[in-house]
Amino acid sequence: MSEFVMPSLGTDMEAGTLYEWFVKPGDAVQRGDVIASVETAKGVIDIEIFEDGRIDQLLVEPGTEVPVGTPIAVVVGAEPVAAAAVPVPVPAAAEAHPMDQKALVRPSKPEPAHNGKRVRVSPVARKLAEELGVDLSQIVGTGPNGAISRADVEEFQRRGAAAPRVEETAPPSRVEQQPVVEKPAEQPTKAAAQKGSTEFQAAMRRAIAAAMARSNREIPHYYLETRLDMGRPLAWLEAENQKRPIRDRILPVVLLIKATAKALVDVPDLNGYWVDDALRPSEAIHIGFAIALRQGGLVTPAIHHADLKSLEELMAAMSDLIMRTRAGRLRSSELTDATITLTNLGDMGVEKVYGVIYPPQVALVGFGKVMEQPWAVNGLLGVRPVLTVTLAGDHRASDGRRGGQFLDVLAKHLQEPDKL
């Protein structure tokens, strides 16, 4: 028998709100199965189990906020989950006994019903709906099993379907009286929507700031920068894409992801975690890809085994990850397994980016904009498409020489795009 606890989905997470259970007592589960979804400051995340067994008890009701490390289910017929299954250290707040955390648990409210059937509602969506005066029973959810998310409420309001809150009065006797009820409520409704969106962005910014503050405080960063001639890889990619249907074409960033993964095979010191005052290298290469959310904020889910995927598979994996990130359908392993982070701001016109390492990772690679710049080849000066690459390294795990070797290998792999 073992306890399944509220997982830490990042160093900035202290508690999560159980959104929905996908299992019930008596169900058999296998390692990697999604058994629940949890709402955090960065959205609703599908939670996987890391052992085989059978669900014996569900200890937490949907809609309750639970500190990280608190048991939320009991699993029988399996060994306890190894601590190494989730590389992100558990915050100190989770070390207290769950009975001491009762004040942090918030009971859920009755769920709305569609055609007599109960529908799950995200706690954030419920709060926003209350502020807007929206009837949740009129919204069709797009979350897991039809659950209503914050985005569903915002979209409902954006389309002008939100019903303003008014005190019940007798029906108006004249048609000209009807606008008097509706028009004054229109402006507060828009203001409430803006407030809800602003609160979500503020919560995410606080979560990101907490992780970055810890990174700057604890990690002795060193930075390296180099410029790469992208003429050959871009020419190869253009010729390759001409052979493909439009839907199967590959974006330039996919070459950068694959070259980074292959360089990590050659220089593994930058791939892993700093835990218990020691480097824990990872054999698997899971590249955390920074994705901007439409409502603001940033999430860096992992592309698993990036070194083993073909360019076509990487393109599909990246597209799928972006879509699910913005729809709020990520899995817990995608948020905790990244062994290094890659950020690409070239599409925003940024020439170079100096990133902050996301603990407990030990490196971050940044790519800027491909720009036409003077470049000498065989003693002749010309204009070439040039990309600036930066590396942020943890000096506890590596040094400038190893970082330089990584950038050199990365450049060599990009100059052989047909071998990526």
Whole-number pLDDT of residue 298: 82
Q: Which pair of structure tokens corresponds to residue 186?
A: 């229109």
Burial label for 180, CB within 10 Å (0-12, 13-18, 19+), is: exposed
Fold of 113-199: Dihydrolipoamide Transferase (4.10.320)
Whole-number pLDDT of residue 83: 37
Give the list of residues 6+ apart from residue 12 with CB closer than 8 angstroms, or none.
Answer: 41, 207, 208, 210, 211, 214
Whole-number pLDDT of residue 85: 40
Whole-number pLDDT of residue 277: 93
Q: Which pair of structure tokens corresponds to residue 343?
A: 């950020």
Question: CA-CA distance, 69 to 48, in Å (whole number)?
Answer: 15
Could you say which architecture CATH assigns to the domain 2-104? Beta Barrel (2.40)
SS (H, E, C) the chain: CEEEECCCCCCCCCEEEEEEECCCCCCEECCCCEEEEEEECCEEEEEECCCCEEEEEECCCCCCEEECCCEEEEEECCCCCCHHHCCCCCCHHHHCCHHHHHHHCCCCCCCCEECCEECCECHHHHHHHHHHCCCHHHCCCCCHHHCECHHHHHHHHHCCCCCCCCCCCCCCCCHHHHHHHHHHHHHHHHHHHHHHHHHHHHHHHHHHHHHHHHHHHHCCEEEEEEEEECHHHHHHHHHHHHCCCHHHCCCHHHHHHHHHHHHHHHCHHHCEEEECCEEEECCCCCEEECEECCCCCEECCEECCHHHCCHHHHHHHHHHHHHHHHHCCEEHHHHHCCCEEEEECHHHCCCCCCCCCCCCECEEEEECCCEEEEEEECCEEEEEEEEEEEEEEECCCCCHHHHHHHHHHHHHHHCCHHHC
Whole-number pLDDT of residue 405: 97
Q: Are 88 and 288 in contact (CB under 8 A)?
A: no
Residue with tokens 């926003």: 128
Where are the domain boundaries for CATH 3.30.559.10 in the chain? 220-419
Whole-number pLDDT of residue 210: 80
Amino acid in the structure at residue 414: L
* Low-confidence residues in the chain, pLDDT < 70: 11-12, 42, 78-120, 122-124, 127, 143-147, 160-201, 295
Whole-number pLDDT of residue 119: 60
CA nearest to 324, candidates 5, 89, 37, 129: 37
Q: Output the CATH code of domain 220-419.
A: 3.30.559.10
Where are the domain boundaries for CATH 2.40.50.100 in the chain? 2-104
Whole-number pLDDT of residue 9: 78
Amino acid in the structure at residue 384: R
Where are the domain boundaries for CATH 4.10.320.10 in the chain? 113-199
Whole-number pLDDT of residue 213: 86
Q: What is the value of pTM for the model shown?
A: 0.67
Number of Cβ within 10 Å of residue 388's Cβ equals 20
